[in-house]
Structure 1
């Protein structure tokens, strides 16, 4: 059940149903251990804040954003595709202010490849107030 040594570095990408199961298990673990977990939603938009309309551009930018997210998060973090232009990222064991660091890291990588497309991020804590 262990990953093979050749596995790429960076975050763990999985399907949405698997992500949902990991999220639910993480909430249970978090209640017991109090290790903070944050959920970040990355939504790809054009420079005017609208959803990218062109299917070709949408596919291209989505692939590039997926790669940027995977390379910008830690090996222990998890991400999934959530629709055509959105990615959910589960950041485990960090502080809330570290979410901004992750956001900037993804933004920097993506901006190098696509200077005319803007990303928007919404960061929500999934830490239960115990």
Structure 2
């Protein structure tokens, strides 16, 4: 069995363990991710929900993405760190913030999404495929 992906918030109140490899890994430059991260993009790894185990209670807030679908962002109510996202339209997936991983070097981005909203000062790996918005599923 492969080594699980583990991580959580800065204070340890929220922890996760995920069996399996990411289905998708991206840097997102949409305005929502910029606001949440406080920089030019958010970095995410998305997994099958079936392999996810979360301990601790997150505070959540919902927002509507460009697709019109609701995404729920979860953060630690103690330290404030953003940890994961879920999507009402896609209940079988679970997305974590790459920086929340215990071993962030395991994160391997595949693409850049919402490149149309990139800032000149937010330089990402130029070898990654860039999509103007979200690529088709």
More helix by share: 1
Q: Which has the higher contact order (CA 8 A, sep 6+)?
A: 1
Asked whether the two chains share a fold, i.e. TM above 0.5, the reply is: no
More strand by share: 2
| Structure index of larger Rg | 1
TM-score (norm 2): 0.29
TM-score (norm 1): 0.30
